[in-house]
Each structure stands twice: as C-alpha cells, then as structure tokens.
Structure 1
Amino acid sequence: MKTKTFYAILILFIIYSCNNDNNALDVEPIPDLILNNLIELNSNIPQDFYNDLTFTNENTGYAISRLGKIVKTTDGGSTWTSLNSTVNFYLKKIQFVNTDIGYVIGGDNTGSYLLKTINSGQSWSVINLNSIEKGFPTGLYFKNVNEGYITGNNLFIKTIDGGENWSNVLQRQSNDNFIDVKFKDNNYGIATTNTNNNYYKTTNGGASWQSIELINQNNLTQIYFSSGKTFIKSGNQLVDIDGGRSITLPNPVSKVQFLNATKCIGIGQHYETGFFPYGDILLTNNNWTTFIQKSYQFSSEAGDFTAIAKMNNHKTMILGTGQLYSKVITLTY
C-alpha cells in the first residue's frame, strides 16, 4: 500500500513539474490558427499609439501608450477605463507580477522613470531612475515583487526592493545600448544590445553576466522563449541562440508571440500604393515556413499593430492604432 502511495505521489509530482517547466513540451494542444477567428471588438478604447499590453487574468488587462496613457479593461477588451498615470511622457513596457503589483517604464528628455502600482492601477508612484542618458528605458523584467531589471541606453540596472533603489548590473558598466531583458526561469536570463553583435547571459539568477558574441548578427532587440529555445530578434531574423536554425520573418512583422513550438502570431504594418500603411496580423502553424495574413485599413489613415498579449491559454489580444482611432482584435484558438 505504501509503495502504491509513493508511486502515485511521484506521478503527480512529475505531472506538476512538467506543467511548470518552461522547457517542457506543450501539454495542451493548440488547433491550427485561422483568420476567421480574428474578431474586431466594438470597444471604447481611447485613440492612442499603444506600445505594450498585459493581462492579469482573461478579462483584466492594461495597455500603455506613447503619450503617457494607461488604460484598463475588466471585461476582456470591450470597455476601457483611463487610469491616472500622473505622467504625459512616452511609456514603453508594462508588467504585472500579480493582480495588484505592476510596473511601467518610460521617459523623455528629463530622464528615465519607473511607474509602480500596488492596487491594480488605481494609483501610481513615479520613481526617477537617475540615468545618465536622458530618454526612455526599453527593457523591463521583474522576477518577483522585489527583484527586477531595466535596460536602456547605457542603462542596465537591478533592484531587490521593488524598485525603490537601483544598482548597476555589470561591475564595469558597459557603454552598450541595452534593449531587452528577460528571464526564462529563476536562473537563466538574457539581455540584448544593438550597439554590437553581442548579448549578455546569466545562468545564476543575475549574480553574474557573460558577454557573448552572436556571429554575423547585429541590432539585437527582442527576446523570446519558446518550447525550451531562446530566440533573439535581429532585423527580420529570429536567431535561435541555442544552436538551431534561424527563422526569417515576413517583412511586415515587428513583434511576435509564440503559442508553442510551431504556432506563432506576428503583428506590424506594410505599405502598398498610396501614402498610408496597412496594419497586419500574420499567423503561422509551421514556424513561419508558411503563413496567412490579414491586413486592415484604418479609414485612409496610417495603421499599425503595436501591442499583443495572451488573455488565457486559448485567446490573444492585439491592439492596432491609426491617427483617429484604435482597434482591438482578439484571436481564439
């Protein structure tokens, strides 16, 4: 009886470990992505250029704009409320570590700043990062409520007290223009630069970082983790730094979202005849060997899709912006 109990517990432990391991195979299958599942919501989202989007559950989401706006939905994107960010400068990235605590980075010619909420966006405190270079930071990642990282021009800093105090990550601070920073798990993290063809890697939770050269690549930007692999965007290439093949993205794609090892969403814009571009959403079911594409016109104005986030394991939201209004698109799968 004790033996049976032991094996039952062991099986449950293995299942739990696989479901919580970023390197595990995808447990829940995803059907093929199709354009018919793209739905434009009748939404009151304020017109703005939204840089980033995140969800704390399938209905509650936050978006940030280039004009300092933070908006929130609690019904899956149909209605949005403008929150009092207390700022009017460029906001770049947003992350919530739980339902209450969230962080936003942004800035202007007066400096770089971190915005923090501890009450689900009802109020925000503004923390001056006192960076040498003015402008706005570009990368944000908090491992938990206390430990976080921010990157930017000559900026790679770390906090261990929830953003109140910051220190340089590198012992001899690099002059690189740092772009993005992300952790795959508690130990493995990546930071990219677009100054040279190098990126930084840690395997001990950020205690030390190693500079690694990425041969024949430059302008390294976004970081993506998918099915145990690490991809860094370099131009229109997704470079698998773990030794696999690089993926060439279609020209309109500026951001991607991996759903599993083969299925992915891309967003961006393209130009045809005339002055104004079209906003584009692209879907692939075979890791960009082939793809399907839907283009949106924004009533004779410039259109672009600039923010994307998963709402749950079977639904994603995409935000698009024109000069007069913004679009809210959902994709179910």
Structure 2
Amino acid sequence: MKNLIYISLIGLFLITSCKKDDILTNGATLPFENNNIKIELVTTSAPLSIRDIYFFNASTGFAVSYDGKIYKTTNNGITWDLKYTNPTVNQPFFQILFTDANVGYVVGGSNSCGGTGCVPPGGLILKTTDGGNSWSKILQTSSFEEFVSISSNSSSDLFAISNGTKGRIYKSTNAGLSWTTIDSLNFNLHKIFFADNFGYCSGMNGKVIRSSDNGTTWTLNTTFTANYATDIKFINGNGYCIADNQIVYKTTDNGNNWTQSLNLQSRSFVLNPLTTNSCLVFGEGVYSGGDFGTWSGKIIQTTTAGNNWTETELKEIEPIRYTSFYSTTEGYAVAGSKLLKVKVK
C-alpha cells in the first residue's frame, strides 16, 4: 500500500512538472519563453507618454508621444534621441508612418482644450524626408479637429482620418503636398488601414467602413454590437478588429463577413496579424487589487488563424498598448516606460 501511495505521489509530481509552462502563463516574469513566443525586456527607460512606435528593423525605430515629441533609436531601443518637439503646446502626436527608409509622417492634434474661451490647437501632419532626423509641418487644420491615424495604399496615396464635429477622411496623391477631404461621417473614427486594394476605417458605434477601390469610395462594411471598434489590421485577406477593447472579430474574405474569434475578460488595445495563421493581441492582465492597484500586461497569441488562443500574463509590466513588427516573427511592444522585444517562433 505504501509503495502504491509513493508511486502515485511521483506520478502527481511529474504531471505537475509537465504543466510548468501553463503555470508560468498566468503571472509570468521576464524574460519569458515557451514553445511559441519569447519576450525580453529591452529597457525600463523608454520615452514617456508614447502613443505609437515604428521600427524598420531590429536596430532602428521611432516613437511619438502625447506631449508632442518624436524620438529615434539606432541601438535596438536601448537609448532614444529626441528629434523633434512640437512648438505648439497641448497638441499631442498619435501615430507615425514611414513609406520608405527616408519618408515618414506623424499625425496629431487636439479638438478641445481646458478653460473658458480657449481655442484648441487643431490638427496637424508632419513629414520627414531624411529618415526622421528633421521634421516639418505639412498640414494644419481648424481648431476643432485632430488627426488620429494615417495609412498609405498600394498606389502610394496617403490617407489620414480626423475627428471633430465629424469624422473625416483626407487623401493626398502627391506625398502630402496637398490634401482633400474625400468623406465625412457622423461618427468619430479610430484607425485607418490598407491591405491590397482594400481600405478599412474603424470607429464609434462599432462601425467599420471599407473601400474596395483603393480608397476612392467608402461604404459601411459592418456594425459590431459594440460602443466602438478600435484597432483593425489585415494580411492576405484575413483581418482582425478589436471591439470595446474586449472582443476580437475575424474575417477571412476581406471584410465581407465577420465572426467573433475571442472574448476577453480584460481589455485589449492593439493587434498584429503576422501571417495567415499567426496573430498577436496585446492588452492588460489581472488587477493587483486594492485602492491603488495596477493592471499587468498580457499577450494573447494564435497560431491557428484565430481558432485557438493562448494567453501570457506578464505581472512585472503595465498593460501593452503600442507595438511595431518589422518582420513576421520579430517586433517591439511598449508597456508604460518599458520596451519589450517580442519573437514569435
């Protein structure tokens, strides 16, 4: 009988040991690695108030901040050099886009301000032609408007979306020299994204509008049961969209049909489809508890085209809100003042 109990305890120990990765997934520490992903801490001193990052490769990247600054790194994100400071106060930056190694754009602005009788600074678009070393303003709009996202189509046309009294889509066919409003909507927009000859805009009331002619015309594509749709990205006709920072929807036919792929208890902020089967969703994990507690970071991963997902909670970091992948397997993620290197196996 004693031998039977002893053998049973050994078996229980072996089973528990085999589940080590599963236990680490709930409250993992850095560096973290399993069979599908590797996550390393690069620095705890990333620029403050980051609102977007863009990396060309492992060494060179940019960050834009809410306080109107543009930073550049050339040593894998370890240190950052300030390249531009917005001379207009209270006019934050929201997104950065490079169309080649030299030409890039930053969008931002504010359609509100504090105090009685104040005038909002409005929206702006900046451009660089020397790889981000210097920047100049190419568009300034009215006081009650802010640009929140920018993208380019397969014909190298630029598209930027703004919010103010209406949601608007701007287009430039000459590398930002001039801009035309091509659509105006009665709801705010969040993100614009192009893939192949299709364009997509997510926005309030769970709405997604789509262009099937490379951005010339736009129509309502779908309305999710949600207050808002946020991040939206596509690859090879497969797309994902986050609704209410909680539900992830998926399409396999360029947005003709959408199905729910993931419903989370905690919030998600940004997603990155890397291949037809591989996608990462970044957000927050559990709350530490108490009146002054914090949320941890979380990465949700699928290698089966959204059919199954695994979660990795990182208890040492804040929620992950901004990412940039320069290949189908490698990229960076920002969690507060921490920069992470992410490798998908």
Specify the TM-score bucket, using the shorter chain as the normaliser: 0.7 to 0.9
* Distance change in 2, residues 1:197/1:258 (3 Å): closer
2:67 counterpart SS class? coil
Code of the residue aligned with 1:141 in structure 2: it is S
Larger radius of gyration: 2
Listed one character per residue, the Cα deviations across residues 101-134 of structure 1 (whole Å, up to 9, x for unaligned) are 0001111221000011111111111133414633
Alpha-carbon offset, residue 40 of structure 1: 0.6
Long gaps (5+) in structure 1: 1-30
* Equivalence for 2:130: 119
* Distance change in 2, residues 1:76/1:226 (3 Å): same
Aligned residues: 287
* Equivalence for 1:41: 42
Matches for 1:101-120 after TM superposition, within 5 Å: 101-108=103-110, 109-120=120-131
* Equivalence for 2:17: none
Code of the residue aligned with 2:53 in structure 1: it is L
Which of 201, 215, 235 in structure 2 is aligned with 1:191? 201
* Equivalence for 2:175: 162
Code of the residue aligned with 1:280 in structure 2: it is G
Q: Is the contact between residue 153 and residue 214 of structure 2 (CA under 8 Å) also seen in structure 1?
A: no
TM-score using structure 2 length: 0.75
Q: Is the contact between residue 231 and residue 271 of structure 2 (CA under 8 Å) also seen in structure 1?
A: no
Code of the residue aligned with 2:311 in structure 1: it is I
Question: When you count strand as a share of all residues, which structure comes out higher?
Answer: 2
1:83 counterpart SS class? strand
* Distance change in 2, residues 1:145/1:123 (3 Å): farther
1:304 counterpart SS class? coil
* Equivalence for 1:283: 300
Runs of 4 or more off by more than 4 Å in structure 1?
none
1:84 counterpart SS class? strand
* Equivalence for 2:288: 272
* Partner Cα separation in structure 2 for residue 122 and residue 115 of structure 1: 12
* Distance change in 2, residues 1:192/1:129 (3 Å): farther
* Equivalence for 1:308: 323
Which of 312, 315, 321 in structure 2 is aligned with 1:293? 312
How well do the aligned residues superpose, as a CA RMSD in angstroms? 2.4
Listed one character per residue, the Cα deviations across residues 53-100 of structure 1 (whole Å, up to 9, x for unaligned) are 111233211111111121111122122211124345311110100011
Long gaps (5+) in structure 2: 1-33, 111-119
Give identity over the alignment, percent.
21
TM-score using structure 1 length: 0.78
* Distance change in 2, residues 1:131/1:158 (3 Å): farther
Which of 95, 98, 106 in structure 1 is aligned with 2:97? 95
* Partner Cα separation in structure 2 for residue 61 and residue 32 of structure 1: 27
Q: Is the contact between residue 39 and residue 330 of structure 1 (CA under 8 Å) also seen in structure 2?
A: yes
Q: Is the contact between residue 160 and residue 171 of structure 2 (CA under 8 Å) also seen in structure 1?
A: yes
